[in-house]
Amino acid sequence: MIENIKIEYRKENSAEFEINAAPNGNPLNYKILNEKIYQIIKKGYTKVVLNNVCGQRFIGASLQGQLKIEINGLPGNDLGIFMDGPEIIVNGNSEDQIGNTMNNGKIIIHGDGGDVIGLSARGGKIYVKKDVGYRVGIHIKEFEHKFPVLLIGGTAKDFLGEYMAGGLIIVLGLEFKSDGTVSESKYPICGEGLGTGIHRGKIILRTVEDLGSRLGVGAKVYDLKKETEKTIKPYIKEFCDTFKINPDIINLKPYQIVKPISKRPFGGNFCGNLI
């Protein structure tokens, strides 16, 4: 336990508190930074602004309730791990495994995301404005009334939605230029191994590309039904509102949907001859 933490910055008569994550240019150890965050929340603050973040891991770990964390800088791995309710906003890029086993809440990335985003998430929303890396959405799953949503504005790499067990992944295939304009990405919307081992949930991609040749074991491309299109509409609207995107560009391409062929895509590989 770190006692008597120094108050970096506090607004008078406000629930907002700011922390310099790299005082004098020296990044705080991630354990020290997270302990500061927890102590500040215990004092009753409901919004924490982190400045000069430089790769510190586990920010927002296991936090609960109506809290908001705004990050200026580059957060490290496992941002929002086990989170249950708060909102995290990153004004830039993020590293790997954001939203790891997240139960509820929202994570907004105003830049690129890393690999393995949303690992085993069972609720909440993760919105990444630009591109993401490999194995994004691996084993995300629905849990009771919880329904995880991962929405990517740019493109994804290999093994998107691997072993997916519920929830929703949406990829829009857009490019966000430095002058603020938005256009169609010149890169493939996803890589190989799309939906490998998927046994529940949906992956929806806004593209006219041939996805059949990229499918992993257990995945299949289906026609997008009107009811599914209606389901995704509010999430896309919220995404556009969050990142100030003109929604007209979204309608310039159709969607394709990837779903499981079976609830047990590898069922024949294990103990098939025992009974």
Would the pLDDT of 47 be above 90? yes
Would the pLDDT of 10 be above 70? no
Would the pLDDT of 2 be above 50? no
* Residue range 169-181: mean pLDDT, rounded: 96
Cα dihedral 252, 112, 188, 159 in deg (nearest 10): -120
Rounded Cα–Cα distance for residues 1 and 19 (Å): 18
Would the pLDDT of 270 be above 60? no
pLDDT of residue 76: 98
CA 123 to chain centroid: 11
Residue 3 placed within a domain: no
* Residue range 180-199: mean pLDDT, rounded: 97
Range from 29-33, 128-132, 211-215, 224-228 carrying the lowest mean pLDDT: 224-228
Structural domain total, the chain: 1
Q: What is the pLDDT of residues 65-74, one digit of tens each?
A: 999 999 999 9
Residue 232 placed within a domain: yes
Residue 274 placed within a domain: no
Please state, for a pLDDT cut of 70, what percent of the chain lies above it: 91
* Residue range 184-206: mean pLDDT, rounded: 97
Residues 159, 216 contacting (CB under 8 angstroms): yes
Residue 4 placed within a domain: no
Rounded Cα–Cα distance for residues 43 and 22 (Å): 22
Residue 2 placed within a domain: no
Domain with 61, as residue range(s), is: 9-267
CATH of the domain at 49: 2.160.20.60
DSSP SS3 for 251 = helix
Residue 125 placed within a domain: yes
Residue 275 placed within a domain: no
Q: How many CB atoms lie within 10 A of CB 215?
A: 18
Residue 188 placed within a domain: yes
Mean pLDDT of the chain: 92
Please report which confidence band the pLDDT of residue 262 belongs to, taking 50, 70 and 90 as the band edges. confident
Residues 154, 182 contacting (CB under 8 angstroms): no
Would the pLDDT of 273 be above 70? no
pLDDT of residue 118: 98
